[in-house]
Amino acid sequence: MPKLIELELSLGCASDEALALVSRALRCGAMRQLWSFTLAEGDISSRGAATLAAALAAPNDAVPQTLPKLMFLRLPDNDIQDEGAAALARALCSGAVPSLCVLDLRGNPVEGAGASRLLTACARRDINLLRDGL
C-alpha cells in the first residue's frame, strides 16, 4: 500500500476491529504516504481510539513516523469518549502525525479531562480540532 494517499471507512466498516487491522499496517509503515484518513459513522469506541493513538505514537527504528504526511484525521459520528480523547492527546503530545492540520471528532461524546487534554494538545500543535460544542 505504499501509494495509498486517502483511506475512508464508514458505516458498517468503521469498527474497533477494522481499526486494529489498520493500526497494524500503520505500525509496519505500510501507509506512510497517507494524507487523509476517515473512519466515520461507525462503532469506533475509546478502545479503538486508544489503539489508533498507540499506533501513531509508537514509531520504531524501522518506521520513525507512522503517518508523516497525514493532514486530515476524521473520526466523526463514532463513540469516542473521554479516554479515547486522552489517548489521542498523548499521541499528539509525543510528536505523532507531524503534518496533521485537522482532527474531526464531531458527533462523539468527548468531554471532561480527555477533551481538555486534546484541546490543549491541538492548540500547541496548531491543529484545527472539530468537535461538538466548540
d(CA 30, CA 9): 17
For helices 113-125 and 82-93, the axis angle rounded to 10 degrees is 30
Does the pLDDT value for residue 75 go beyond 60? Answer: yes
Q: Which three cell numbers stand for residue 71?
A: 493532514
Closest CA to 7 of 31, 36, 30, 32: 36
- Between 9 and 58, whose confidence is greater? 9
- Supply the DSSP string of 67-90, one letter for each residue: -TT--EEE--SSB--HHHHHHHHH
49, 85 contact by CB (below 8 A): yes
Q: All domains of the chain, ordered by start, with CATH? A: 6-130 (3.80.10.10)
DSSP 104-128: E-TTS---SHHHHHHHHHHHHHT-E
Mean pLDDT of 78-88: 95
More confident residue, 14 or 36: 36
Kindly report, residue by residue over 92-134, the tens digit of the pLDDT. Answer: 999 999 999 999 999 999 988 999 999 999 999 999 999 986 5
What is the reported pTM? 0.91
Output the average pLDDT for the chain.
Answer: 88
Region 42-57: what's the mean pLDDT? 92
